[in-house]
Amino acid sequence: MEIIISILSWIFRNILWINILLAILLVFFERRNPTTTWLWIMVLTFLPGIGFLLYLFIGQDLSKKKIFQLKEVEDHCFRDIAGFQGEQMKRDEYTYKDPNYTKYEDLITMNLISAESFFTQDNNIELYFDGEEKFKSLMKSIREAKEFVYLQYYIFKSDGLGKKIIDLLCEKAREGVEVKLLVDGMGARKFSRKYIKKLKDSGAEVAIFFPAFIPYLSLRINYRNHRKICIIDGKEGFIGGFNVGDEYIGLSKKFGYWRDTHIKITGSAVSSLQWRFNLDWRFATGSEITRCQTYLSDETGNTGVQVVSSGPDSKWASVKDAYLKMISNAKEKIYIETPYFIPDDSIFDALRIAGLSGLDVRIMMPCKPDHPFVYWASMSYIGELLEAGVKFYTYEKGFLHSKVVLMDDFVSSVGTANLDIRSFKLNFEVNAFIYDETINLKLTDRFLNDLKNCKEITLEEYSKRSKIVRIKESFSRLLSPIL
């Protein structure tokens, strides 16, 4: 006992130096952005003991090496297709259905190379802006499924909406349809084990991405699977911002009306969504992927789509790079809807330059925060961009959760990635990049209609913020690399 007390006493007396040593060993072990590195040095130095625990939970994850190994071995399904397309485009041998595609060949090529996201031209797109509408369509597709139903959500709750979907999945599984449900270990912590058992008893398969060490308590904040993907028989694919829970159909007293954007794809792009699901399922379950199933479509659509995934297992920050390319290449407008606005230096500078160049740059955010520190950090970035001519709006009708970026009158992005550092580097995300004038027009019309329920943040109003608000913003911005 005396020896243990002596050891603990020595650790307590030297905790500061031990913490500094751990900071050096841990932080510099990984290649990081210098800003993030200095932030962690401050946390580890000024919060001895506590800072080290914070670093373990949200700063570093030993599973990252495992992720990279899986990525290197398996994520090659469409490498040959993407490579072949890229070579054809380079030699001007690729045939586009729509001549407008050639104007954005640099963006298409970048996605081909960085994300192995092959380009498809035979798709049809349906847009959903309301949760009731989206889930009505999804449940209809599930009811009509003949072969398989694959669902992947970050948040899945066992509430009214969740139970309806669970009951339907159980019904389809008992009919002999292959049913797989993949949820995130932190986002789906309110997913009752009783309903997981019910699904499994019906013949459905359920997997959890990075499950919690302790049930209902997930401390591993980084490397969450933020994707929302549904594939029905390899023919229909859903992707966007809606999770599963009553708040997403407007039943939350706290948030009220939930404004989001989701799409349904029919066409060859569905095969990219299915391969993304297969990889995530493989990581969560350890099961083998027997073959690369492309399910090339017989659809007669004419919308170009690339499905771009990114995350800690990606060599490149592919979704962020595509956002950056859209902002940098825009000639007329950039419209953005995002619940969280914490841009890194490259996105911030691109928006600032676009504003200074006279482009119509508008950014819409929620008026009410679901995460206060993230909200205050978001507000801290607005001032300089307002001075550059960028316009900001807060959505007042309810909660804005839509993740949409619109470039000029042709290119649109709809998916799961927010305009923040966490989505760019720390979470697993997936977006559909859509090349179509009609879809862009519909999304633009919805954006302009949403403005009727918004309040513009003027530079004059922004400059009148109280000192308390400014302090909150400054502190939150300091933490923005890890928010």
Quick one: which of 339, 166, 369 has its CA closest to 242? Answer: 339
From 157, 180, 198, 228, the catalytic residue:
228
Give every CB contact of residue 372 below 8 A, 6+ residues apart in sequence: none
pLDDT value for 177: 98
State yes or no: is 226 an active-site residue.
Answer: yes
The least confident of 65-79, 116-130, 170-184, 387-401 is 65-79
Catalytic residue among 61, 408, 420, 450: 408
7 has pLDDT over 80: no
Distance between first and last Cα of the chain: 42
Long-range contact set of residues 345-349: C-beta below 8 Å, sequence gap at least 24: 346/320, 347/320, 347/323, 347/419, 348/381, 348/385
Supply the mean pLDDT for the chain: 85
Here the tokens at position 228 are: 């929302």
Phi, psi of 153 (to 5 degrees): -135, 145
pTM of the complete model: 0.86
Tell me, letter by letter, the H, E, C secondary structure of 170-191: HHHHHCCCEEEEEEECCCCCCC
Q: What is the pLDDT of residue 143?
A: 98
Residue 470: the pLDDT is 77
Q: Is the pLDDT of residue 58 over 60?
A: no
Assess if CATH 3.30.70.960 describes domain 67-84+120-304. no
> Is residue 46 scored above 80 in pLDDT?
no
pLDDT digits (tens, 9 = 90+) for 145-188: 999 999 999 999 999 999 999 999 999 999 999 999 999 998 99
How far apart CA 153 and CA 138 sit, in angstroms, is 13
184 as an active site residue: the answer is no
Q: Give the pLDDT score at 473.
A: 73
Rounded to whole angstroms, what are the CA distances from 382 to 255, 351, 390, 394?
Answer: 23, 11, 9, 12
Range 318-482 has CATH code 3.30.870.10: yes
> How would you class 389 by CB atoms within 10 Å of its CB: exposed for 0-12, middle for 13-18, buried for 19 or more?
middle
Q: How confident is the model at residue 136 (pLDDT cuts 50, 70, 90)?
A: very high
Q: Is 228 a known active-site residue?
A: yes
Amino acid occupying residue 411:
V
What's the CA gap between 405 and 384, in Å, rounded?
Answer: 21
Any catalytic annotation for residue 408?
Answer: yes
Mapped to the 3 state alphabet, what secondary structure does the chain carry? CHHHHHHHHHHHHCHHHHHHHHHHHHHCCCCCCHHHHHHHHHHHHHCCCHHHHHHHHHHCCCCHHHHHHHHHHHCCCCHHHHHHHHHHHHCCCCCCCCHHHHHHHHHHHHHHHHHCCCCEEEEEEEEECCHHHHHHHHHHHHHCCCCEEEEEECCECCCHHHHHHHHHHHHHHHCCCEEEEEEECCCCCCCCHHHHHHHHHHCCEEEEECCCCECCECCCCCCCECCCEEEECCCEEEEECCCECHHHHCCECCCEEEECCEEEEECCCHHHHHHHHHHHHHHHHCCCCCCCCCCCCCCCCCEEEEEEEECCCCCCCHHHHHHHHHHHHCCCEEEEECCCEECCHHHHHHHHHHHHCCCEEEEEEECCCCCHHHHHHHHHCHHHHHHCCCEEEEECCEEECCCEEEECCCEEEEECCCEEHHHHHHCEEEEEEEECHHHHHHHHHHHHHHHHHEEEECHHHHHCCCHHHHHHHHHHHHCHHHC
What does the pLDDT read at residue 73? Answer: 46
* Top-ranked range on mean pLDDT: pick from 19-28, 225-234, 285-294, 310-319: 225-234
Which of 233, 280, 344, 450 is catalytic? The answer is 233
Confidence of residue 62 (pLDDT cuts 50, 70, 90): very low
Place of tokens 């066409």: 267
In this predicted structure, the answer to whether residue 38 has a pLDDT above a threshold of 50 is: yes
Check residues 91 and 406 and name the one with the higher pLDDT.
406
Place of tokens 């490498």: 79
Q: Is the pLDDT of residue 92 over 90?
A: no
Quick one: what percent of the chain has pLDDT higher than 70?
77
Per-residue model confidence as pLDDT tens digits over 328-386: 999 999 999 999 999 999 999 999 999 999 999 999 999 876 666 677 777 788 888 99
Selected catalytic residue, list 172, 180, 198, 226: 226
Check residue 474 and give its pLDDT: 67
Integer CA distances (angstroms), 448 to 242, 321, 364, 423, in order? 21, 26, 10, 25
For residues 212-222, average pLDDT = 61
b (16+ CB within 10 A) / e for 77-114: bbeebbeebbeebeeeebeeeeeebeebbebbbbbbeb
Please identify which of the residues 172, 264, 403, 472 carries the catalytic annotation. 403
Task: Reply yes or no on whether 442 is catalytic.
Answer: no
Residue 14 pLDDT: 64
Q: Please name the amino acid found at residue 165.
A: I
Q: Is the pLDDT of residue 54 over 90?
A: no
Distance in angstroms (rounded) separating the CA atoms of residues 370 and 416: 17
Specify the amino acid at residue 466.
S
423, 319 in Cβ contact below 8 A? yes
Give CA–CA dist 234/298, Å, rounded: 12
Q: How much is the pLDDT for 472? A: 74
Domain ranges of the chain: 2-60, 67-84+120-304, 318-482
pLDDT band at 53 (very low <50, low <70, confident <90, very high): low
Residue 190 has pLDDT above 80, yes or no: yes
Out of 262, 320, 325, 401, pick the active-site residue.
Answer: 401
In this model, does residue 273 exceed pLDDT 80?
A: yes
Same fold: 67-84+120-304 with 318-482: yes
